[in-house]
Structure 1
């Protein structure tokens, strides 16, 4: 009811959006959106909550105010069905027996959640260590060796197998492939009929600490309704600390360090541990819905207007979760109120600046933090035919620290979009910096990946780490500090002293790139080695 009433009030605005002057992207506009979107009023913007509904209404009202066309059958809102599954922590058990005994504490030792929207999660089976849990024929790699793991609980290492000196480009070298993502590991476990899976957390290899695991997963989970064509879901999913894993395996006469070393070889075979793990807990299941908020700016050319540049940013965050220092609202100011604010300013400039030949879709997608649910749903249920989407430009994090001499472009080596961006910013004295942490697999962790999977050349564009007026190492220090202390934690809050000149710089670059693509008859092309390339257009 709140969503409907507020949408009616805000959506009824009839004022014309202000025309833009020569400086099209305004710092004050970005700041106003950012401060509101990251306020406690929106309660962390979790999908299918009051705060999420308020966010959707605000975004739809802004689109109407700016004059964007509704892109979803006369509406700005694309319904995304979401199952919300909350584990009853008081009922949770995780007990090891057999060759080792232990009762695990949640969330200190393990973080567990349901494998599907079921009222009971349970599995009791032997634990089998399966290395990195990867089957990759193109790399001649198979961690399973035809061993039947049906009904087993799999213990798996995070990330890809490391590349040896003799094969420096194995699994992308230092860069993570999709095989290293936790999503792939759970999917492979389901394909093999496993009863459950635990991923062994390692801060360096995962790219984030245990506090981030707790903040992300020790709370209610959101998922799309289960596709009946998929394999049976796991009885549970989970993470386990390295210390807890080491202690457990030691009782069974196994050494985690040695197992990890063995798993770095193609000769590795699954290891039956002789440990029986009994996991069970009750869930509260709600069948709810959230929304992608999508508007369209029609192109000026009758033929080219059928083709679309897709701009995206996720509006959601984690909502209300475990309290840290008395604060339980996960505001998500940088992640991703900042990118959402940038995209609103970008939509304003496109709608009230020079018209482009091709059309532009502006999509604020939901449930990114739950596993790219909103963008996955949009990619599979597009508001324009996928073959008419020229490219996707995504913004996840909007630069709140000042102007930079560089950009980070996730996916810059996977299509011609990377060289195009490099050429665009070179006259500005800027460059694309290589991913500082390719091992963390950021390309697979943001919404552009959903569109890449269906063949659309896609990149996510963000600031680099070479900040104007700062020591060279300052940017990386700030990034590491954020990851450690604020990423997916209540500390990701708005600050009035943020330097949003960087947000203006970043948004202006995306604006120029959008216009370049939208006024061109050229289609971006995939690199030959890109995983999800579609056939080139004739």
Structure 2
């Protein structure tokens, strides 16, 4: 009995030792804990941060929280002027409702009641042209402009896509293979676009009306094309649509009947019909920031190269209440990636240094259109050519329930599983490293279901890694999938699977460690997939 116990203890000890040896191959990976992740996320996704909208007080607090920890751990600031913050100016344009009107043959219509508009200052009087849905899709032989000249005119379009068309059909180069109504108007001399709303558009009416006056339209000032004139887009009420089509050969009843509307050809309105748009806006400047830090590598030569880690620390803020809750906390999206990145930064700082340097970027404005990553690659604080790989974590803390009945959401990953996107698209070496590290460490199921640039959900294009990939930097994107709490107030800390969050965090940490110690950086040996949208 004693010998049996001794043998059992020896086996347990040996297994434990083997596990420690295996994990110690990846630096300080064992420093990472569920408690650490839970503590950080309980703050980042708390109601006090009000959903971390871009820009907002809550997001600024989150940025200071991240920077305070990075400073304490000895990181080198890699933002502006010796700080951890890379400041991004945002231009805000807002509608002045009382000074914004539409007049149709002498009849005036008021903003908010009869129409809503994008905040683009305009005073024009022009004739009208009807161009169906206004989309060009070459591969589907859809082009409503074949016999119509829109220059100097106001385009009237049916809201939504043409019948039978999905957004996934808008592939290739915009302006060549496909085009949108507003983009076509801008490039072909049209003065404005008036949209006949779909039911979905009408459902958004109140929200959009208030947003355009109070919040306004935000854009990173750096990317605003000063030479290209914006075109105002008007969404018309039913009363205004009736006035637009009064006396025309096409009735509003035909327009609201999708089958009949599809059979209508584009046409010019009566020459006697004139529309005057007077849209008045105010412009001011707001600011947001990326949080950027560097941990210098240990090798004299390789320390000039970087393995980049990224997550977006913004979410969508305060919105429409659901069951009395109006704060969209974003615990998984992307509080999970935010705190995983912070915990990894702590573990790297308190452990041995890898050979290459490490670049940590918490991106702002991802939810608005990948603003932070787009700005960072345009104004990098380290040379882009020195970044050997970018590892992105966006939603890595949720697991689908195991019901055992085979009816689970196939777009949502299980407890011991994570979707990996992009790791094999540009570099065979990176793909192998991702696999080898996983096999050596925790043996998660790496699911490549979405690892396809032509996937209908377009997930490769929908997070910050994409802007790095466009610059020729190999990327790997870790993602738990699409769940029922996506962009809802119910994306709460209480629903996070911290066992899974820890597993994915350790896996990304170990992958970064391996990449930072490779003698030669991953080579790009594959053609970058053709982007769908520019």
Please give the TM-score of this superposition, normalised by the length of structure 1. Answer: 0.70
Mapping of residues 287-436 of structure 1, within 5 Å: 287-321=285-319, 327-401=325-399, 404-412=415-423, 414-416=425-427, 417=430, 420-422=433-435, 424-425=437-438, 428=443, 430-435=445-450
Is residue 84 of structure 2 the alignment partner of residue 76 of structure 1? yes
| 1:372 Cα deviation from its structure 2 partner | 2.0
Q: Alpha-carbon deviations, 1:344-390, whole Å to 9, x = none?
A: 11222232333222221111122222222222211110011122222
| 1:499 Cα deviation from its structure 2 partner | 1.9
- SS at structure 1 position matched to 2:504: helix
- SS at structure 2 position matched to 1:482: coil
| 1:217 Cα deviation from its structure 2 partner | 6.2
| 1:333 Cα deviation from its structure 2 partner | 2.8
Is residue 461 of structure 2 the alignment partner of residue 444 of structure 1? yes
Q: Alpha-carbon deviations, 1:288-345, whole Å to 9, x = none?
A: 2221110001122222222222222222233344555554433333322222112111
Alpha carbons of structure 1 residues 252 and 320: separation in structure 2 relative to 1, 3 Å: same
Residue in 2 that maps onto 1:528: 527
| 1:77 Cα deviation from its structure 2 partner | 0.9
Q: Alpha-carbon deviations, 1:132-157, whole Å to 9, x = none?
A: 745779x9997755964344446477
Q: Alpha-carbon deviations, 1:10-44, whole Å to 9, x = none?
A: xxxxxxxxxx9763322122222222112222222
Residue in 1 that maps onto 2:252: 251
Alpha carbons of structure 1 residues 71 and 22: separation in structure 2 relative to 1, 3 Å: closer
Alpha carbons of structure 1 residues 529 and 389: separation in structure 2 relative to 1, 3 Å: closer
Distance 2:235 2:385 in 1: 38
| 1:445 Cα deviation from its structure 2 partner | 2.6
Distance 2:178 2:75 in 1: 37
- Is the 8 Å Cα contact of residues 86 and 289 (structure 2) preserved in structure 1? yes
Alpha carbons of structure 1 residues 301 and 279: separation in structure 2 relative to 1, 3 Å: farther
Is residue 93 of structure 2 the alignment partner of residue 113 of structure 1? no
- SS at structure 2 position matched to 1:75: coil
Distance 1:499 1:295 in 2: 28
Alpha carbons of structure 1 residues 133 and 421: separation in structure 2 relative to 1, 3 Å: farther
Gaps of 5+ in 2: 1-26, 401-413
Distance 1:182 1:221 in 2: 25
Distance 1:215 1:432 in 2: 42
- SS at structure 1 position matched to 2:492: coil
Distance 2:108 2:460 in 1: 37
- Is the 8 Å Cα contact of residues 82 and 223 (structure 1) preserved in structure 2? yes
Residue in 2 that maps onto 1:462: 479
| 1:510 Cα deviation from its structure 2 partner | 1.6
Q: Alpha-carbon deviations, 1:108-150, whole Å to 9, x = none?
A: x9874325xxxx466666354375745779x999775596434
Alpha carbons of structure 1 residues 221 and 430: separation in structure 2 relative to 1, 3 Å: same
CA RMSD, 1 decimal:
4.8
In the comparison of the two structures, how many residue pairs are matched?
471
Alpha carbons of structure 1 residues 186 and 440: separation in structure 2 relative to 1, 3 Å: farther
| 1:223 Cα deviation from its structure 2 partner | 0.9
Residue in 2 that maps onto 1:222: 218
| 1:225 Cα deviation from its structure 2 partner | 1.7
Please give the TM-score of this superposition, normalised by the length of structure 2. Answer: 0.70
- Is the 8 Å Cα contact of residues 129 and 150 (structure 2) preserved in structure 1? no
| 1:233 Cα deviation from its structure 2 partner | 3.5
Say which is worse superposed, 290-299 or 34-43, in terms of deviation: 34-43
- Is the 8 Å Cα contact of residues 433 and 515 (structure 2) preserved in structure 1? no
- SS at structure 2 position matched to 1:530: coil
Alpha carbons of structure 1 residues 333 and 421: separation in structure 2 relative to 1, 3 Å: same
Say which is worse superposed, 416-425 or 339-348, in terms of deviation: 416-425
Q: Alpha-carbon deviations, 1:510-531, whole Å to 9, x = none?
A: 2122223222213342632523
Residue in 2 that maps onto 1:149: 150
- SS at structure 2 position matched to 1:361: strand
Structure with greater Cα Rg: 2
| 1:411 Cα deviation from its structure 2 partner | 3.4
- Is the 8 Å Cα contact of residues 215 and 321 (structure 1) preserved in structure 2? no
Distance 2:210 2:178 in 1: 13
- SS at structure 1 position matched to 2:472: coil
Distance 1:232 1:82 in 2: 18
**Which of 129, 136, 149 is 2:131 aligned to?**
129
| 1:71 Cα deviation from its structure 2 partner | 1.0
- Is the 8 Å Cα contact of residues 399 and 480 (structure 2) preserved in structure 1? no
Alpha carbons of structure 1 residues 322 and 456: separation in structure 2 relative to 1, 3 Å: same
Residue in 1 that maps onto 2:42: 35
Distance 1:67 1:216 in 2: 45
Mapping of residues 200-215 of structure 1, within 5 Å: none
Alpha carbons of structure 1 residues 499 and 324: separation in structure 2 relative to 1, 3 Å: closer
